[in-house]
Amino acid sequence: MCRINPKIDLVFKKLFGTEKNKDLTKSLINSVLPAGEKLSKITLKNPYNYPDYIKGKLSILDIKAEDERGNLYNVEIQIIGHDDYGKRTLFYWAKIYSDQLSESEQYENLKKTIVISIIDFTYFDNDKRYHRIIEPRDIESHQKYEELSFMSLHFIELQKFTKDIQSVKTTLDRWIIFLNKAHELTKDNIPQQLSVEKEIKKAVKELESMYLDDKEKDYYERQRMFIMDVKAREKGEKIRLTKAISKRNIEIAKDMITNNESIEKITKYTGLSKDEIKRLTK
């Protein structure tokens, strides 16, 4: 089984951000892009370089790439969420887009910039889609304009992916299962639904044999423990909030019972079941 978690940013960068694994990076990016925008080759703009990491120069662990058309890509994985994540994503896009030009260059040289955010938390609460694309459109007509089509934001919410392995249909589905289930995979035992992608077979092999030296291992373990602590706090806060809401609803129900409100109305306003309300009545 893969002994290290590919969701930890250092591991993700070592796996997808190296020259020998550019085919994995290209496959991952293409799995996210619409059919008409697939790329045929990429150049890594900030490949993982161990000497730079040791010297502290590799402080940003996202992946920057450029395709054969000059379009720019920024791929990152993020496990811990925060309220300003959307603003952060927009800032990343704006920085990459604006850095294309020096003072003497013309706007016509600007190329499309695509940010791919793979996140292991729920950021959009309004539906169950695990992949969404956000681009500029006319608010009323929803029309896209070619001269404004230079921004594309992709959000992949790993926790919203609920398909079992028998139901996967796309390369993106397979990459999500790889990221979510890496600890269950070995190079000698990859489910057929995943092994149809040679890049995923290679990714499992690379991850299973990946070596972390003492410095990298220390970073990995600190990140892993930090994530575990944050997840534990979030779980505790969720439990406390659920208890507080339940207590409030019970108090509301008691007041409504005292005022002889109907069970149907009490259920509507508190979310309590009819049996729970009958027990409170007694």
In this structure, the strands spanning 113-119 and 131-134 are unpaired
User: Is residue 226 assigned to a domain?
Assistant: no
pTM: 0.81
227 located within any domain: no
Of 157, 176, 211, the last residue of a domain is 211
Mean pLDDT of all residues in 180-205? 93
Residues 248 and 146 in one domain: no
* 30/96 same-domain check: yes
Residues of the chain above pLDDT 70, percent: 95
pLDDT computed for residue 171 by the predictor: 97
Kindly state whether residue 30 falls inside one of the protein's structural domains.
yes
Residues 245 and 116 placed together within one structural domain of the fold: no
* Residue 31 within any structural domain of the chain: yes
Q: Do both 147 and 265 map to the same domain?
A: no
- Quote the number of domains for the chain: 2
Regarding whether 54 and 105 lie in a shared domain, the answer is: yes
Q: Is the pLDDT of residue 63 over 90?
A: yes
On whether residue 216 sits in a domain, the answer given is: no
Q: Where are the alpha helices (DSSP H) in the chain?
A: 9-16, 22-32, 50-54, 85-98, 171-181, 192-195, 198-209, 214-258, 263-270, 274-281
Helix (H, G, I), strand (E, B) or coil at 69: coil
Same domain? For 269 and 144 the reply is no
Q: By the 8 A CB rule, do 233 and 227 touch?
A: no
pLDDT per residue over 89-126, tens digit each? 999 999 999 999 876 678 888 999 999 999 999 999 88
Q: Are residues 14 and 62 in the same domain?
A: yes
Same domain (yes/no): 205, 108: yes
CB atoms within 10 A of CB 159: 13
Say if residues 75 and 63 touch (Cβ distance below 8 Å). Answer: yes
274 with 139, same domain: the answer is no
**How far is 227 from 8, CA to CA, in rounded Å?**
9
- Residue 54 is predicted with a pLDDT of 54
Q: 189 and 252: one domain?
A: no
Cα–Cα distance for residue pair 191/166, rounded to 1 Å:
9
Distance separating alpha carbons of residues 243 and 256, to the nearest angstrom = 20
258 and 187 in one domain? no
One domain, residues 177 and 239: no
Q: Which residue has the tokens 């079992």?
A: 164
> What's the domain range around 271?
232-281
